[in-house]
A and B are shown apart, each in its own frame.
Chain A
């Protein structure tokens, strides 16, 4: 299966999983796990920035359809995609990324993945909750929601990676 088909299928699965499973969890205390940023993180290293943003926009739009948020997820996803190239450059290994590798725990390492995804998820959630509340007086709610949701989102990211993105068996 080539990369394009694989990523399109992945996009559909992430949107459905977010819309039908993770978006329906009502955990209270402002915790809202959002798993589709993992789709943006896991796009191949050589994806062009504009393509990255379009795919993120599509994913966010898909989630908006399900959650009745009218564009909020799309906006947060586009922001995440916009900062991704800069962020990856910041954390790149000394001799750059190998384009055959995928940005997953198994292929590039736990430490790299945690650092990058923590920053991206924090950006994503902070942007999301700022726009949702959209007033200064709710800053404590915004921070609380961001931190708690980010922790749960990251745990789900790691579990998903361990369960579904195993290292392919080499011959």
Chain B
């Protein structure tokens, strides 16, 4: 026993070093392989407050640009407003709709901290469980899909950005309906790649890439980006498609969290079939 104590006394600097490394790396790697740590992130109240202050000051700089993108969105939305339509057939003028039900709600939020140049990028938004946000909800900006909620606290949430290597958002190409998975190649924050599409399907440059809505994160048809380049993967009958994101991930500000009202129902029915997950 005494020898053991003597041993630890001799190597105590090294032992402390190892213990501290185990704490830090344990936390880091456990987060990488999904289970979350409540402790080390900006959803905690202190840093969240700091970032809110910072954002309060800095948001004025990009106000112009944001106004424009919100205006554009308003125009697009107003085209869907029934009040803007003139009825041609009197039977369809009734708006009380029992065939369609509202399936997605959007919760507005502000991005208060973000990164885009790391291998795995996350950003923090100023809305949390108090506003009804739950883990694994989709997050969109006015111009497209940007991420999935990763961790929440009462007033803040951390969102896994589309620029994360394990993001795997399921997407399809407009018109052709061929679908694959969105992955981030860790090089360019403007581009992601779409994998898993067989190379006998013809793909046009500039075709729209849209979210497929699997898992119920996003409404089907939410914009992601446009096809920029297609390359064949050597030795595999698959395309490697480079997609240019519609949203510049370096300029995030006003975003919406997508709440799927029927998420529980979708989960319950898909739970039984292993291959759908």
Contact = CB atoms under 8 A, between A and B. Distances in A.
A156 B89 CA distance: 70
A60 B115 CA distance: 18
B13 A50 contact: yes
B60 interface: no
A38 to B, nearest CB: 20
Contacts of A141: 186
B41 A72 contact: no
A68 B41 contact: yes
B12 A78 contact: no
Interface string B1-25: 0000000000011001100110111
A133 B119 contact: yes
Contacts of B119: 132-133
Contacts of A53: 13, 16-17, 20
B42 A78 contact: no
A66 B42 contact: yes
Contact of B24 (A66, A68, A71, A132): A71
Nearest to A129: B119
Interface stretch (A27-35, A93-101, A106-114): A27-35
A65 B44 contact: yes
A38 B16 CA distance: 22
A66 B16 CA distance: 25
Nearest to B26: A71
Interface stretch (B46-54, B127-135, B258-266): B46-54
Contacts of B118: 32, 132
B271 interface: no
Contact of B116 (A26, A30, A71, A74): A26
Contacts of B115: 26, 67-68
Given A26-B117, A67-B115, A74-B24, A82 B17 contact: yes
A70 B124 CA distance: 14
Interface residues of A, number: 34
Contacts of A61: 24, 40
A133 B120 CA distance: 9
B110 interface: no
B158 interface: yes
A70 B37 contact: yes
B31 A70 contact: yes
A20 interface: yes
A131 B118 CA distance: 12
A29 to B, nearest CB: 8
A32 B24 contact: no
B113 interface: yes
A78 B16 CA distance: 10
A65 B42 contact: yes
A70 B27 CA distance: 6
B42 A71 contact: no
A84 B25 CA distance: 20
Nearest to B31: A70
B82 to A, nearest CB: 42
A118 interface: no
B151 to A, nearest CB: 9
28 contacts: A19-B47, A20-B51, A26-B116, A32-B118, A50-B16, A53-B13, A53-B17, A54-B16, A65-B42, A66-B51, A66-B113, A68-B122, A68-B124, A70-B28, A70-B31, A70-B37, A70-B40, A70-B41, A71-B25, A71-B40, A74-B20, A75-B24, A75-B28, A78-B24, A82-B17, A131-B25, A133-B119, A141-B186
Interface of B: 12-13, 16-17, 20-21, 23-28, 31, 37, 40-42, 44, 46-47, 50-51, 54, 113, 115-119, 122, 124, 158, 186, 250
Instruction: List 9 A-B pairs, minimum CB-CB distance, nearest first.
Output: A71-B27, A75-B24, A74-B24, A71-B28, A71-B24, A70-B31, A68-B122, A70-B40, A78-B20
